[in-house]
Amino acid sequence: MKVVHFVSVVDPRKCNGDRLCEGLCPAGAIKVVEKKARVDATRCVACGKCADVCREEAVTLIRRDDPMAIGFNVAAVDPAKVQELCMKASLLPDLLVCACTGTLAGEVAAAVISGARSPEDIVARTGAGSGCGIYCMGVVFKLFQAAGIRIPEDPRWNNLPLTAADVPEVVSEKYPAYYFRGRI
């Protein structure tokens, strides 16, 4: 679970509506309306990417009055369905998916089962992808694929397969002592 102590705020006097922040926000919290960026505080994970990319310095992070906890309640979903989706993706439910937030594969699977349909939904519901977004998103994409959900390509997401199940068969056969297959 991630606790978010800050929220992005846009100064409309400085914002030029160039959409750089909107295109970079991993949680889909920023939308440009009438050439001004607007932040949905309920989705903002305070990653700071919007502030980093803003050339006009229109975006700042301020402390929230009440910190927001992000994490998905796995217990709210049938554990057999979570297990089934994880196994279909060749993942164990207790696999650490996102080191930045401590999010497990079972939590992401539960979010997908409960209606998450985009990487932005996963970021907003679980926190995974709100840090570096490098290692976790490949596993998130595996879970979407296992659930039959196609995610369009987007430069924000690194869809890199990084599990032993993704090792090519030829490598697995060449190095059988590493147990790339048959362990899940």
pLDDT tens for 27-52 read 999 999 999 999 999 999 999 999 99
Q: Does 8 lie in the same domain as 96?
A: no
Q: Does 82 lie in the same domain as 65?
A: no
Query: In this predicted structure, what is the pLDDT of residue 165?
Result: 72
Residue 182 has pLDDT above 60, yes or no: no
Q: Does 168 lie in the same domain as 112?
A: yes
> Within a domain: residue 169?
yes
Q: Does 106 lie in the same domain as 81?
A: yes
Q: How far apart are CA 52 and CA 182, in angstroms?
A: 44
> Within a domain: residue 116?
yes
Query: In this predicted structure, what is the pLDDT of residue 29?
Result: 97
Mean pLDDT, the chain, integer: 91
C-alpha distance from residue 137 to each of 32, 97, 106, 131, 173 (Å):
25, 8, 14, 11, 27
Which 8-state DSSP code applies to residue 179?
Answer: -
CATH code at position 47: 3.30.70.20
C-alpha distance from residue 147 to each of 22, 93, 111, 151, 161 (Å):
27, 15, 11, 11, 16
Token look-up 């922040």 returns 21
Tens digits of per-residue pLDDT, 89-99?
999 999 999 99
Q: Does 88 lie in the same domain as 44?
A: no
Which structural domain, as residue segments, surrounds residue 131?
Answer: 74-178
Q: Does 108 lie in the same domain as 45?
A: no
Query: In this predicted structure, what is the pLDDT of residue 167?
Result: 75
Residue 183 has pLDDT above 60, yes or no: no
Split at pLDDT 50, 70, 90, the class of 179 is: low
Does residue 152 sit in helix, strand or coil?
Answer: coil
